[in-house]
Homo-oligomer: A and B are copies of this chain.
């Protein structure tokens, strides 16, 4: 399973003194993109060639808040859902083992404003992962 180690930055915390809800989506996105890049799928390069990988569904369950300077890991698991969607199961875990959030994302590829087949690099990557999970 892919893991990305990060640390909370003070500006990510809001007036409650903890990381703002929306920032977790940033962490999760950053981990998904790092995961994809590790598989040879470059999000920015795909966007430049007209393949826009878009999140179509996001579910986040917040268990405990992150605080300034906390160290944590963001996990990423990916699998195919039909021919047009990629599903990401993610978890944020603080370094002491506390689960901070569970998340489920579904993504699709949009070309010229319409749903399109997933880019080949991503399909290859999904095939390998699906086989690895059997």
Contacts and interface: CB of A to CB of B under 8 A. Distances in A.
A56 B100 CA distance: 11
A117 interface: no
B20 A11 contact: yes
Copies of this chain present in the complex amount to 4
Contacts of A39: none
A133 interface: no
Given A16-B52, A57-B62, A58-B58, A10 B22 contact: no
A128 interface: no
Nearest to A67: B44
Interface stretch (A29-37, A76-84, A87-95): A29-37
Given A22-B23, A23-B22, A47-B15, A30 B9 contact: yes
A10 to B, nearest CB: 5
Contacts of A58: 21, 58-60, 62
Contact of A11 (B29, B54, B59, B67): B29
Nearest to A6: B9
A13 interface: yes
28 contacts: A9-B26, A9-B30, A10-B14, A10-B30, A10-B44, A11-B14, A11-B22, A11-B29, A11-B30, A13-B14, A14-B14, A15-B15, A15-B17, A15-B47, A15-B68, A17-B44, A17-B48, A20-B29, A21-B25, A21-B29, A22-B25, A37-B69, A43-B68, A44-B69, A56-B62, A57-B60, A57-B62, A58-B62
